[in-house]
C-alpha cells in the first residue's frame, strides 16, 4: 500500500461527509447553482490553487502549474427523484452508515466528485510537484446533454487536457471506452379524412406503427464492433405522437423519437441512413424527415450554448500510455491489477475523447446500476479506493 492509499484510508470519513453534504443539495440538470457554490467553497477550503465557475456554470479547480494538463471530471447534476413511494429513505437525505452514503446522485455522480475532492486534499498535503496542472471539473447539464460542458471548456475556454479521467460510477474498475449515442426525430405524413370514412385517408398512425416495428427489426439486425469490445449498437423508439384535424379524423401527422446507441465504426450519417432504409421498406416510402434535434435549454447562469444531440463513440486501446499508467497506479495502491472494461451508458467523455480525441479513461465509485434508480447509494470504501487511485495516477503519469 503506497502513501496515497494510506492517506485515502485516513480520509474515509472526510470523503463520506463530503459526499453526504453535496447529496443533500438538490441539483437537477440545469439547476445546479447551490451545489456548485458549495463545491467551490470546499475546493477553496482544501487549498486548491485556483477555483472558478465558468460561464456555463461548472466549477473548475486547479492544483499545480505544470506544462501538461490532466483533468478529472465529475458531473454534479442529477436526474429528478421519480416515484417518491419507491424510496425507503428521503431521496436527498445524504444518510451515512458504516457502508454507504444514500441519496439521489450518490453514485451518479457526486461520489466521483467527493473522491476527487479527497484526492485533491491528499495531493495538496503531500506537496504535488509533478510537471502537470491537475484540473478538477465539477460539470453541469450532463444528464440532459452529456459532454456539452466539456465542448464548451475545450472550444470556448481553450482548456484542452492532454489526458482526462471521468469519475462516473465504474465499480472501481478501469474503463477505456463506451458506445456513443444520438437522438433522432422522425416525421411521417398521412392524408386526413373524416373518421367515418377512413378509407378516404391514409393514416399516419398506422404508418408510424409499422415504422416503430421496423425500428425493432433494425435493433435486432445491428451488429457488434469488429473486436466485440463495445458490443452492438441499439435503437429504441422512446416516444411516439400522432395528430390530425380532430379526434374524429384520420391522423395526418406522426412523430417517432429515437434513442440510438452507436458502437465503434457507427456514426450519425450511417444511423440516419439505416432509419430511412428500414422505414421505407416498412411503409413503402421514406419518412418525411429524419433529423438530429439540438439541445436548446439554458443553464442556471443564463448563458446560451447549444449543440446537436450527437455524442460520438470513443475508446482507447489497452496498450495506450494512459491506460497502462492507470493499471500501474492501481497496482501501486492495491497490489493487484484492475479489471479493464467499458461502460454501458454514456459519459462526458463523448466530448473529451469522442469529439476532441483527447485520450481518456474512466474510474469511479459506485455501480452503474445505481444510476437513475430509487434508493441510490454509494459505497464509502469505493470513495477511498478512488481517492487513492486519482492521487496515485497524478504521480504515475
Q: How many CB atoms lie within 10 A of CB 383?
A: 31
> Cα–Cα distance between 324 and 349 in angstroms, integer?
18
Q: Which residue has the cell 447539464?
A: 141
Q: Which of 27, 29, 28, 56 is nearest to 39 (CA)?
A: 27
> Cα–Cα distance between 175 and 191 in angstroms, integer?
50
Which residue out of 32, 73, 142, 168 is catalytically annotated? 142
Q: Is 118 helix (H, G, I), strand (E, B) or coil?
A: helix
Active-site residue flag, 97? no
Tell me if 254 sits within 8 A of 206, measured CB to CB: no
Tell me if 222 sits within 8 A of 233, measured CB to CB: yes
Q: Which of 186, 181, 310 is nearest to 240 (CA)?
A: 186
Cβ partners under 8 Å of residue 331, min gap 6: 337, 338
Q: Which sign does the torsion angle of CA 343, 344, 348, 351 carry? A: positive
What letter would DSSP give residue 64?
-
Cell, residue 374: 430509487
Which residue out of 32, 73, 77, 225 is catalytically annotated? 77
The pair phi, psi for residue 261, each rounded to 5°, is -95, 135
* Residue positions counted in the chain: 397
Active-site residue flag, 77? yes
> Cα–Cα distance between 44 and 59 in angstroms, integer?
11
Cβ partners under 8 Å of residue 26, min gap 6: 34, 35, 92
Q: Is 261 helix (H, G, I), strand (E, B) or coil?
A: strand
> Cα–Cα distance between 368 and 105 in angstroms, integer?
12
What letter would DSSP give residue 78?
B
Which residues form the catalytic set? 77, 142
Amino acid at each position: 500500500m503506497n502513501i496515497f492509499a494510506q492517506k485515502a484510508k485516513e480520509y474515509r470519513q472526510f470523503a463520506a461527509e463530503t459526499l453526504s453534504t453535496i447529496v443533500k443539495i438538490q441539483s437537477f440538470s440545469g439547476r445546479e447553482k447551490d451545489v456548485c457554490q458549495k463545491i467551490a467553497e470546499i475546493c477553496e477550503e482544501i487549498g486548491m490553487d485556483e477555483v472558478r465557475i465558468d460561464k456555463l456554470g461548472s466549477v473548475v479547480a486547479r492544483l499545480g502549474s505544470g506544462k501538461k494538463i490532466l483533468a478529472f471530471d465529475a458531473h454534479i447534476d442529477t436526474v429528478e427523484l421519480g416515484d417518491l413511494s419507491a424510496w425507503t429513505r428521503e431521496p436527498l437525505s445524504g444518510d451515512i452508515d458504516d457502508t454507504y452514503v444514500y441519496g439521489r446522485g450518490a453514485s451518479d455522480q457526486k461520489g466521483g466528485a467527493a473522491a476527487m475532492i479527497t484526492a485533491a486534499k491528499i495531493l495538496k498535503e503531500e506537496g504535488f510537484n509533478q510537471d502537470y496542472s491537475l484540473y478538477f471539473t465539477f460539470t453541469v447539464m450532463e444528464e440532459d446533454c452529456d459532454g456539452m460542458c466539456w465542448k464548451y471548456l475545450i472550444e470556448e475556454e481553450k482548456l484542452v487536457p492532454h489526458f482526462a479521467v471521468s469519475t462516473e460510477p465504474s465499480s472501481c474498475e478501469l474503463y477505456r471506452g463506451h458506445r456513443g449515442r444520438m437522438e433522432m426525430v422522425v416525421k411521417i405524413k398521412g392524408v386526413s379524412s373524416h373518421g367515418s370514412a377512413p378509407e378516404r385517408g391514409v393514416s399516419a398512425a398506422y404508418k408510424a406503427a409499422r415504422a416503430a416495428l421496423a425500428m425493432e427489426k433494425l435493433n435486432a439486425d445491428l451488429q457488434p464492433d469488429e473486436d466485440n469490445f463495445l458490443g452492438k449498437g441499439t435503437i429504441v423508439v422512446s416516444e411516439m405522437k400522432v395528430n390530425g384535424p380532430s379526434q374524429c379524423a384520420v391522423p395526418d401527422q406522426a412523430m417517432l423519437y429515437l434513442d440510438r446507441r452507436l458502437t465503434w465504426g457507427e456514426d450519425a450519417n450511417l444511423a440516419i441512413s439505416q432509419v430511412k432504409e428500414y422505414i421505407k421498406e416498412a411503409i413503402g416510402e421514406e419518412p418525411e424527415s429524419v433529423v438530429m434535434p439540438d439541445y436548446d435549454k439554458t443553464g442556471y447562469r443564463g448563458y446560451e450554448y447549444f449543440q446537436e444531440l450527437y455524442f460520438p463513440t470513443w475508446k482507447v486501446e489497452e496498450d495506450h500510455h494512459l491506460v497502462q499508467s492507470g493499471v500501474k497506479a492501481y497496482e501501486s495502491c492495491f497490489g493487484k491489477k484492475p479489471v479493464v472494461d467499458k461502460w454501458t451508458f454514456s459519459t462526458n467523455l463523448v466530448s473529451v475523447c469522442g469529439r476532441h480525441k483527447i485520450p481518456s479513461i474512466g474510474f469511479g465509485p459506485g455501480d452503474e446500476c445505481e444510476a437513475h434508480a430509487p434508493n441510490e447509494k454509494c459505497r464509502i470504501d469505493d470513495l477511498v479506493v478512488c481517492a487513492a487511485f486519482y492521487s496515485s495516477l497524478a504521480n504515475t503519469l
